[in-house]
Structure 1
Amino acid sequence: MINTDITVLDNLIALNLDVNIWTARKKLTPADFGGAELPPEELASLGSKKICDPKELRIFGTLKARAVNLLDRTGVRFLGGWGIPEEKADEIVAELTTIRADFLNAKAQFLSRYDEAVKDWIVQHPGWESLIGTSSVSADYVRSRIDFKWQFFKLVPPTDNVVGHGLQHEVSELGDTLFDEVAKAASDTWKRCFEGKDKVTHKALSPLRSIHNKLAGLTFVEPRVVPVVDLLDTAFNRMPKRGYIQGSALVMLQGVVSLLRDPATLVAHGQKILDGQDTADILSGLVAETISILPQETPTVTIEFVPESVQHQIDSHGLW
């Protein structure tokens, strides 16, 4: 386990994203079933009824997801929200403000046709007019249930160790959380961009650059973040400038992604670089390790990478 020092709070600011989205649902009641006999509440509970087409509200979930994605790319999960590099606060506010403007515009458009949307929903469900109509709520009520806000907090730990224990515990786990988040993003990148591929385009570098940017902004969280950033820089610099990424360059990238997917191994390699091992040597090792597992992990990639007799056909990029 990594124990992050409380002093990281000097560079970190906490952010809480507060997005409310009306569900267009109301709880079903016994009266909705015209007095039919129902099981007792301790045995079964009634569900909910939709009083408006849920598709009308999808845009709000999409915009919230955009905001969450932005914060996940920039910060690290912390205290139920995110820990954000303080130097990135203005940039994040600018992007959140843009998303909020889109959110409020969608809210205004939805409210402008809210009554019509409820009527359309009733028309789509003949025979259930009463169930829907008696449950509808006013546009003002809906307006109060849809909003997009955020709050920043600058945290100062209490001087009393006992009082501040909870905060110290949360801070101590930041390093582990960061590397776990990187591993999750790298696993998703592997599946989407590298698994089963014998060549990729430069678009495959985009999610890796996002991981790099996240780590580069949070280098103060844990000392071994910096060497991981350096490792990614070195790998990016060895990519071909144009055309497909394949051969030894692809193998190297696959090795880097595999490393990022394993938090414990990632931390260990970061420590090796801190201890003086050259990043080029680390990458050479990753190439060798990746070649050894390619037949199992990506069966569509031919074994032509393995034999020494054909390695001279592949540009080594200085790795062997």
Structure 2
Amino acid sequence: MTKTSLNSDVTVLQSLIAVRLDVSIWSARKKLTALDFGEISLPPEKLASLGSKKICDPDTLKVFSALKSRAVALLSRVGIRFLGGWAVPESRLQEVIDGLKAIEQEFGQAKDDFLAHYDEAVRRWIADNPGWEEVISRSVVGVSTVRSRIEFGWQVFQVVPPKKSMGTQCQDKLVAEVSSLGGTLFQEVAKAANETWLKSYAGKTEVGQKALSPLTTLRRKLAGLSFVEPKVFPIVELIDTAIAQLPAKGQIGGRSFVMLQGLVCLLRDADALATHGQMMIEGQTSDDILQGLLSVNPDDEEVLDQANERDCEEPCSGDIQYLEMSPAPQLDSYGLW
């Protein structure tokens, strides 16, 4: 996003809600002490420090990390990283809250189940580690302590600019944060698209309809946050145009798959997204760009076969190549041919 005036950035902030996760998970660890090693000679603290000991099976706590990861994924699907949390479009806030409430409920149930069996889990852990019973038992904490260290919550708030009386430096800091939202959005989309490529597209000659689901998720994220950067909405239009040209059911292969590969590779490159967004603002159409992915002569089946068979497991980068095309503009190959 190009740096603009403070008033312009205020308009952006009015459409954004900040969400911060407050999740704490007990580590089930205590610091090792010299007492735990009896008469064994240990190096001085300035030379080496002791690690930690597990006083409960870490596997019993994995459910909490999994639920936290689900909350992070939910916020990342809808919002973008901002001021230590996420900036979520106001239009999708209720969706986020409903999702967080559902995860919070599961977290609370998992916490109740864990605490109900905590003493038993500790006894079982001690029994599974013969010879270290005293070391573990000496560090066991009560269930009330564990309860206070396992929490799931979140905060929702609106960000407003500081008063002019607080100085321009404070205002400039916020302007810089807001001005970077567009770049952050493209970077997050590129990271997610790269994961999608490696999972669903690399080395394939066709995909099923389910492979479109990550693209529609990215499309919703971009559409919801299109107001943070003028170059975003053209990318939404590009995705819509591409999906509209794909078969509504069955496998996606041949020329349609080549176009889809090109679209995913474009989404994997944050700089290319900004460039093509600007190109569309300046007049290039989404059909022009998509035509660039299909600008192979219909009689040149060998070239098309090579495009289908080319594996692109590494990020599409390096020397830029172009295809001849008429009358549509040229487009980067992104390593597909």
TM over 0.5: yes
Q: Name the structure 2 match of 1:61.
A: 65
Q: Secondary structure at the match of 2:153?
A: strand
Aligned with 1:255 (options 248, 262, 271): 262
Q: Secondary structure at the match of 2:159?
A: coil
1:193 pairs with 2:200: yes
**Residue 115 of structure 1, CA deviation:** 0.1
Q: Name the structure 2 match of 1:145.
A: 149
1:133 pairs with 2:137: yes
Mapping for residues 4-15 of structure 1, pairs under 5 Å: 6=9, 7-15=11-19
Q: Secondary structure at the match of 2:170?
A: coil
Aligned with 2:311 (options 270, 277, 297): 297
Q: Name the structure 2 match of 1:278.
A: 285
1:217 alignment partner AA = G
TM-score of the superposed pair, with normalisation by structure 2: 0.85
Mapping for residues 194-233 of structure 1, pairs under 5 Å: 194-233=201-240
Unaligned runs of 5+ in 1: 300-305, 307-320
Q: Name the structure 1 match of 2:300.
A: none
Deviates more, 1:39-48 or 1:281-290: 281-290
Q: Name the structure 2 match of 1:123.
A: 127
2:231 alignment partner AA = R
**Residue 268 of structure 1, CA deviation:** 1.2
Q: How many Å separate the matches in 1 of 2:78 and 2:142?
A: 39
Q: Name the structure 1 match of 2:84.
A: 80
Q: How many Å separate the matches in 2 of 1:27 and 1:125?
A: 17
Q: Name the structure 1 match of 2:330.
A: none
2:271 alignment partner AA = A
1:113 pairs with 2:120: no
1:183 alignment partner AA = A
Q: How many Å separate the matches in 2 of 1:29 and 1:204?
A: 52
2:211 alignment partner AA = A
Q: Name the structure 2 match of 1:181.
A: 188
Percent of residue pairs identical: 53
CA contact (8 A) 2:205 2:308 kept: no
**Residue 297 of structure 1, CA deviation:** 3.3
**Residue 165 of structure 1, CA deviation:** 2.2
**Residue 3 of structure 1, CA deviation:** 3.8
1:136 alignment partner AA = V
**Residue 298 of structure 1, CA deviation:** 4.6
Unaligned runs of 5+ in 2: 297-302, 314-322, 324-337
Q: How many Å separate the matches in 1 of 2:133 and 2:79?
A: 47
1:236 pairs with 2:238: no
Q: Write the deviation string for residues 153-196 of structure 1: whole angstroms up to 9, x where unpaired.
A: 10111243222222222111111100000000111111001111
Q: Write the deviation string for residues 29-78 of structure 1: whole angstroms up to 9, x where unpaired.
A: 11111142211111110000000000000000000000000000000001
Q: Secondary structure at the match of 1:83?
A: strand
Q: How many Å separate the matches in 2 of 1:298 and 1:69?
A: 26
Q: Name the structure 1 match of 2:333.
A: none
**Residue 286 of structure 1, CA deviation:** 3.0
Q: How many Å separate the matches in 2 of 1:233 and 1:147?
A: 41
Q: Name the structure 2 match of 1:19.
A: 23
TM-score of the superposed pair, with normalisation by structure 1: 0.90
Q: How many Å separate the matches in 1 of 2:52 and 2:171?
A: 43
Q: Name the structure 1 match of 2:331.
A: none
**How much is the aligned-residue C-alpha RMSD, in angstroms?**
1.9
Count of matched residue pairs: 300
